[in-house]
Amino acid sequence: MLYVRHFRLNPEFVNSYVIVDEESGQALLVDAGEWSPEIARFLEKSGLTLTGIFITHRHYDHAGALPEYTALYPNVRVYCEGAVDAGSGVFVRVRDGDSIPLGKSAATVYHVPGHTDDQCVLYFPDAGLLFSGDTLFAGSVGGTSGETARNQQLDALRQKIVVLPDRVRVFPGHGPITTVGIERRANPFLA
């Protein structure tokens, strides 16, 4: 069984998440924008093994603290679509449709460009969990550099994310948690 621990960090009040597989004691960190001793203490006190760090996109507020995390957790796998400074970690380039294991579960990577070219989301279908980075927020979507990128992002959201089951919980890069069902019905950008 998976559970999620939420950490709200500065700068920009970024959300970082630790996804835990209770049975194996493995954990995956989603976004490492700022070093957080709270995250390190949580992993240590819970007796968890950090097996990976998933970076939704390369903006500093989501990837800036990678060197600090990989210094503490050397050889941890760092998953990202675009190249990042993995420090002491092992960089793994992911593509649309790739699978990332966590205990007995596996997440699927969806490339959802628009906010950035390398923007990806992470979806655990069995647990109904989606980590959307800066592509989908409660009641909004991520900013883009222009109309072409905006349309690309909205198309990808409609084709890959809004089609997921209503019950899927969405854990965005900023702001509150929501669900696919709420966003399908109420997000003005997806109407």
Give residue-wise pLDDT tens across range 138-187: 999 999 989 999 999 999 999 999 999 999 999 999 999 999 999 999 99
Residues 2-190: name the CATH superfamily. Answer: Ribonuclease Z/Hydroxyacylglutathione hydrolase-like (3.60.15.10)
For the stretch 95-129, pLDDT in tens is 999 999 999 999 999 999 999 899 999 999 999 99
| Mean pLDDT value across residues 54-69 | 93
Query: Residue 23 class from Cβ within 10 Å (0-12 exposed, 13-18 middle, 19+ buried)?
Result: exposed
pTM of the model: 0.95
For the stretch 115-124, pLDDT in tens is 989 999 999 9
Q: DSSP string spanning 127-169? A: TTEEEEETSEETTEE---SSHHHHHHHHHHIIIIITTS-TT-E
